[in-house]
Structure 1
Amino acid sequence: MIVHLEHIDPAKNMYRYYQLYLSPSLFNDWIIKKDWGRIGQKCRHNFREALSFSSLSEAQSALEKYIQAKTQHGYKII
């Protein structure tokens, strides 16, 4: 599962994206990979952080918390 969020505010020259990737790993756990940066930058999809969870429900709960935190800071799900 991929969640793409953006925060665009031309008045502040703000063009940001944030992506979360939820996927199973090879070792029977679940991984959330995070990627963020400026929209239009050349180097995208360089995962900046990866977190491991022992169960899918634990990973989904963490994913929901990350989404909630970003939407509270003005990001919108695309």
Structure 2
Amino acid sequence: MLSTWTKIEPTRNCYRFYAISLADDLFNAYVVSCAWGRIGAKKFRRKVVVFNSLEEAMTKIKYEESLRLKHQYQPA
């Protein structure tokens, strides 16, 4: 699963993206990975969190998506 968000405000020179992905690993855990930065930049930041259940992982994803809406990001 991949959720991508963008925030584009040319008047403020703001061109940002935020991507949230969900994957499972070999140890029956769920990995939520968030990446963010400036659109078109070579470098970006990332954080990875591991959960034992799908419900916990989905709760984290919903929380991150609600933060993106609060900060005026748009789904891409």
TM-score (norm 1): 0.91
Tell whether 2:63 aligns with 1:65.
yes
4+ residue segments displaced more than 6 Å = none
Give the unaligned 5+ runs of structure 1. none
TM-score (norm 2): 0.93
Where 2:34 maps in the other structure, the secondary structure is strand
Residue 73 of structure 1: how far off its partner (Å): 0.3
Superposed CA deviations along residues 38-75 of structure 1, whole A, max 9, x for unmatched, are 0011246xx61100111011101110000001111011
RMSD of aligned Cα (Å) = 1.2
1:27-66 equivalence runs, <5 A: 27-43=27-43, 48-66=46-64
Where 1:68 maps in the other structure, the secondary structure is helix
Superposed CA deviations along residues 8-65 of structure 1, whole A, max 9, x for unmatched, are 0001000000001101011101000111110011246xx6110011101110111000
Instruction: Report the equivalent of 1:5.
Output: 5
